Structure 1
Amino acid sequence: MTMTEREKQLAALNGDSPDRIPWMPRLEIWYTARYLTGTLPPEFIGKPLGDIQKAMGVGKTARGGHVYTTRIKGVEVNILRDGLRTKTDYVTPIGTVSTVTQRTEELDAVGIYPLEVEHAIKTPEDYDTVMYIIENTEYFPAYEQFIDFDNSIGDDGLPMTQIGDIPFHHFLNVLTGYEKGYLDLFDYPNKVERLLETMHQCLKEKMWPVVANSPGTLFLHGAHFSSQTTPATYFDQYMIPYMQEFADYMHGYGKKVAHHADNDTSEIVDQLRRSRYDMHECYVTAPMVPITLGEARKALGDEVAIFGGVPSVILEEAVSEERFEEYMDEIFAAVAPGDRFILGIADNMMPTSLVSRVKKIGKMVQERGSYPIGA
């Protein structure tokens, strides 16, 4: 009996044998850009994304669900929009912090999110204000909404529910920016470490139980860790302990956890293996970063799933058809026999990606992706 797309993904996560490797490319950026610019291929005009996914023979990546909502108690949020610039003030009893995001007409045209150009923590005094916000953030189950979303996906995919970033990377990426975050770690280590511990404990006490008791199966917690911005030494000290504790907790409830690996992980792949996460998804590989798919498979071992394998650049017209097919041969060789692997694009089918190549990959999977690959 043929497996559904959901069953194939679950097999990959659980270390079981799928009948065929799953093919789950993310089409959202391509679809949104083409829809907004009126350049969808004629065969797809007027069709929603779900119908296009079916027509292209791919599973649904299903990232739109959520299992909780949040509310910040005792904080006034004021939003001021000025053209393409948006300022958000968070007013607390002990101080105010603000963020600024910037859009551009070019990004708006293709549906890309705005860039945060001003972070909440700018001065040493801001640490206490941010901690107040974190300590007063409450999490409320949204299980019925998730069940509705899950039912809408059905057998076409397995929801991977996003639950935010882990403390250290959220601190660097969102609260301070990378450069200031590392400078503050040297200049104000006590403030930084107190903030990180507050984040850890608040997530553990408030968010983890809501997620663990939810009807979801797979959760995305952490994104864009890299050899450059989260190098091994800092990863070991500030990320591994949290990730291991979180993964162990979730595994105790039968849940699976993943990291969005759309970055250069060549120098931190051992840390990813030791994190106890079940999967690293949108795993980007050479030629976009130094590590190959074969090297990643070997380094991560037999207990960790990879979701990815197809760098978005090989779907571009600038890459010859011959090189594209050679690369796909390399993928099938690297993942044989097909355990703990979901074929996807790292990170997305881009607006200029060739539809013909995405379709061709689907045909290759049908012809060559049966388990065990290469038998």
Structure 2
Amino acid sequence: MMTSKQRILKVMRGEMVDVIPFVPRLDLWWLSNATRGSLPKKYEGMMPDDISRAEGWPLYHMVPNFADVSSMDDVLHRALGLFNFRQSAYGWKFTDNIKVVTQTNEQGMQIIEYHTPVGVVRTIGGLTDAGKRSGSSLGWVQEHPIKKVTDYKILGCLFENIEVFKQYDSCKEYIDKVGDDGVVAVGGPTLAASPMHMIQKDLIDTTKFFYDYKDNYREMRELADKIEVYFNKVLAIVADSPAEVVLWGANYDDMITYPPYFEKEISPWLRKVSAALNSKGKILATHTDGENFGLMDAIYNCGAHVAESVTPYPMTKVKIEEYYRRWKDKITIMGGIPESMLLDVSIKEDEFEAFLDGCFRDLIPGDRIIFGTADSTPPDASFDRLRRISDRIEKEGRLPLAGKKYPQVISKSGATLKAPPTKNENENNLQKGAQTNEKEDMNMEMLRQIAAKVEEGDAAAIKTLVQQCLSQNISPGDILYKGLVAGMEPVGVKFKKNEVFIPEVLMAARAMKVGLELIKPKLAETKTESKGKILIGTVREDMHDIGKNIVAVMFEGAGYEVIDLGIDVSNEKFVEAAKTHGDAKILGLSALLTTTMPYMKEVIDAVRKVSPDLKIIVGGAPVSQAYADEIKADAYAADAASSVDIVKRLLD
């Protein structure tokens, strides 16, 4: 009889087996519920693997396994993207040239100073109780090591002083512990796929990365070259390790790791790793849990054998059958069941069953699929739904799938379940800049130049042009709307069409802000009004900010005044902001975790008591239109590009 391990490995290699494996990761679900004391009574006192075995589910372990930390030293250097787990095929240590000084602040976060021969860098991060309750096992980084351009050289020295060594015995012991019940994917040097990806993902604030990638690329590349030495050492060790599967790289998203960047900075390293592992008969898995709409071809051609933690529609734009159609001849899809499917508050029963119907109907013949929850089983998951997925796979997941007709299911809202609209269907004709019937004169030419330089992201030129306009008594309102805003509008249109990406948006926004700062005093003097004031923030216990930041940029670029309340914003702070800014017209709420999503309703209920006319928009990966309707939000924004259109519609 085929073991779970044999079945999973065969599917990873593209072979047809007897039944589709179902491998739900329970580690984060277990950590959150164990912390909250809310494990099912039957499983109190049991570990995640024990629960999976009791349910008859195979195991899948990723190394590093952040739910299995032997001591805090394992994750002490998390803000550098460096981990030391006994299960890994390698270990590392600093040479005597590096001195590490650690202290803990009142919030339980570690403040770490790294003293090198060329300078000192500092990080702040850690795992708080709130993080554990939300299912986080990795912790948050409050302060990244790169804050100024001189930090690149210091970090380069730090990575030059890392020694890497084999630890095959403990790695094999861990693999043997899982045994025939599942598979262990041994990790690479970090969760990033390449040295540049490591800088982006681990060493610098996400938004600052894009500015530095434009402004300080030489220093960034020099650091990446020094990190590459560390990567090469780790690759040599894991390629010869006892592991049969290697997990290399994680967390791709077509907005953050946008297509040209992915092809330039990530694909070459994944292909290099693939070649090294192929020569040793090993399997390369890469963790593709983000929005892959714009990365489908890039990931297909990156050399990976397994796209792990695939998260399809409705949490992202790509439906599971589209993943299968595009990738099945080369890549095994692991995951495929978005975690929102396990949440009663997000997905209704009929929608849940319809999703499963579609899997058995459309994923024919069913090879190269390993079902699991993606990214992981959320803390508030319905355990009953997990069991029902397992039962249906046992009954209907026998291979090869022949396909079966299921009745079309209508959602509670009365709309037929379908894929998200295409870009053409979703495209609105945005206003293309303020028009004027005035004679084409020098003033208008200068305003057109401002618009052009905003679109190009040329902040220096904007400063000069705006100063010239002010010296010629061009009204600050015209500079704002016919120059700065007019320049941002085509950027927004192109961003929506995937013709430009985050760097271009941020550069244009930075140029616009330079001009805006120059005219702000004049705007106040002339009482020139913005299009409206918008409050925006990420709900409490959620530290994600890049999506919120991009939405804020889009609002500012459209001429709105934005009050950014930040991340981890308490209900009380939202209420206070609504009181303080009584003239605000919109409140935007962001949540990137299934555990923080319910706080949106609390905020809406509290804010409506003090500001009943304030329009509230919600968004974030786990949020859906159905959930927005349920919590009585005024609108749902599926992505940053559509947010401006939604605000315009609400305020019309």
TM-score band, normalised by the shorter chain? over 0.9
Shift of 1:142: 0.9
Is structure 2 residue 99 aligned with structure 1 residue 76? yes
Indicate which of 255, 263, 271 corresponds to 2:298. 271
Matched ranges for 1:144-155 at <5 A: 144-155=169-180
The residue type equivalent to 2:399 in the other structure is: Y
Deviations 1:283-334 (A, max 9, x none): 1110001011111122224111110111111111132222111101112233
Give 1:15's aligned residue. Answer: 14
Give 1:347's aligned residue. Answer: 375
CA distance in 2, matches of 1:306, 1:147: 26
CA distance in 1, matches of 2:302, 2:285: 10
Give 2:46's aligned residue. Answer: 47
Shift of 1:372: 0.7
The runs of 5 or more residues in structure 2 that have no matched partner are 66-86, 404-652
Is structure 2 residue 161 aligned with structure 1 residue 162? no
Give 2:248's aligned residue. Answer: 221
Distance 1:66 1:104, change over 3 A: closer
- Aligned-pair identity in percent equals 26
Indicate which of 193, 210, 232 corresponds to 2:237. 210
Give 1:141's aligned residue. Answer: 166
Q: Note the aligned Cα RMSD (angstroms).
A: 1.5
CA distance in 1, matches of 2:125, 2:362: 41
Shift of 1:374: 2.0
Shift of 1:76: 1.1
**Quick one: higher RCO (CA 8 Å, sep 6+), 1 or 2?**
1
CA distance in 1, matches of 2:266, 2:46: 42
Give 1:244's aligned residue. Answer: 271
Matched ranges for 1:113-124 at <5 A: 113-124=138-149
Q: Is the 8 A contact 2:310 2:333 kept in 1?
A: yes
Give 1:283's aligned residue. Answer: 310
Q: Is the 8 A contact 2:197 2:265 kept in 1?
A: no
Return 169-178 or 305-314, whichever deviates more: 169-178
CA distance in 1, matches of 2:362, 2:144: 41
CA distance in 2, matches of 1:17, 1:362: 19
Shift of 1:355: 0.6
CA distance in 1, matches of 2:328, 2:101: 48
CA distance in 2, matches of 1:144, 1:11: 25
Question: TM-score of the superposition, structure 2-length normalised?
Answer: 0.56
Return 290-299 or 352-361, whichever deviates more: 290-299
Give 1:357's aligned residue. Answer: 385
Is structure 2 residue 122 aligned with structure 1 residue 98? yes
The runs of 5 or more residues in structure 1 that have no matched partner are none
Question: TM-score of the superposition, structure 1-length normalised?
Answer: 0.96
The residue type equivalent to 1:15 in the other structure is: G
Look up the SS of the partner of 2:23 in the other structure: coil
The residue type equivalent to 1:70 in the other structure is: W
Q: Is the 8 A contact 1:200 1:242 kept in 2?
A: no
Question: Which of 1 and 2 has greater Rg?
Answer: 2
Deviations 1:249-307 (A, max 9, x none): 12111111111111101111111111101111111110001011111122224111110
Shift of 1:102: 5.2
Give 1:183's aligned residue. Answer: 211
CA distance in 2, matches of 1:283, 1:66: 24
CA distance in 2, matches of 1:70, 1:53: 32
